Amino acid sequence: MKTSVVFSEQGVRVGPAAYGLGVFSLRAFSPPEVLGPIEGQVYDDGIFESDYCMELGAAGCIEPEAPFRFLNHSCQPNCCLTEYEVEDEDGACHAELWLSVVTAIAAGEQMTIDYGWPAESAVPCRCGSPGCRKWIVAADQLGQVGEPSTPASLPGR
């Protein structure tokens, strides 16, 4: 995907970002607006992993589809993932993950989430936000990681 792809229903486009691809707003969004569900394949085997996988509580994880597959990390995100318990028509309950706005987003702005990874999975961060933790890690686990490497050796995130 070298050019942008528009997802009109969600009001976003996927296009080139500082680190790979990113999700960008087509219009202004305000909190507590909900953009839509994170759709994709749900895995409940406990061993599935990928670069895009999102935790889905006790249900396992979801391998998201575009557009929200391309949400990048920020230590000061403008969106968050919200998990809901939903009852099916047959009465069975299951978890769904939705993308919600947490701070105002201008048209054309990149939409980000805080990956909140556990300390054992932390990688250096270059999100550039004023409150950058220097690590892609859950804020409450920041004390469990050391000092990041020099900027030249940081992976793109």
CATH of 5-114, one of 1.25.40.850, 1.10.3720.10, 2.170.270.10, 2.40.40.20: 2.170.270.10
pLDDT tens digit string along 77-86? Answer: 999 999 998 8
Tell me, rounded to whole angstroms, the distance of Cα 48 from its chain centroid: 18
- pLDDT beyond 80 at 156: no
pLDDT tens digit string along 20-79? Answer: 999 999 999 999 999 999 999 999 877 787 888 898 878 789 999 999 999 999 999 999
| Domain extents in the chain | 5-114, 117-145
> pTM, whole model, 2 decimals?
0.86
